[in-house]
Every structure is written in structure tokens, then in C-alpha cells.
Amino acid sequence: MMGFGFMGFGMLIVAAFWVGIILLAAWAMRTFLPTAGLTSTGPASPLEIAKARYARGEISKAEFEELKKDLC
């Protein structure tokens, strides 16, 4: 009966090990894999933002043309 106390402790160590492995894998993926939707050259330019807003339907064609004229 004396060995059963350490069985719970061993299970805790194994669980902590696997949680650590999963957290390490998540960190590595977040750090080293490219993030979808972000450009690798830096922040989006105002014209790119206007294009994205027009593509999503947030602004009309007239508003987009006006923004494009102002930005270029």
C-alpha cells in the first residue's frame, strides 16, 4: 500500500510533461509560422486598407474612387 501514494504524483508529473509539450508546440507554431492575413512587408498602406474595405462592401465605389484619388 505504500507505493500507491507515489502513483498519483507520477501521473501528475506525466500530465505536466504533456501540457508543457503542447504549450511548447503552440508557442513554436505561433512564433515560426506566418500569420494569415498579415503582410510580411509591414503594416498595410492606406490604399490597401481602402481596397480591403471596398472588397468587404464597407464603402461604395464612389467612396473608394474618392479615397483612391485623395491617396494617390
Q: State the first-to-last Cα distance of the chain, in angstroms, to the nearest integer.
A: 80
pLDDT of 61 > 70? The answer is yes
Under the banding of pLDDT at 50, 70 and 90, the label for residue 7 is confident
Average pLDDT of the segment spanning 40-49: 78
CA of residue 41 relative to chain centroid, distance:
17
Q: 15-31 pLDDT, tens per residue? A: 999 999 999 999 999 88
Q: State the Cα–Cα distance between residues 71 and 67, nearest whole angstrom.
A: 6
Lowest model confidence (mean pLDDT) among 11-15, 33-37, 54-58, 68-72: 33-37
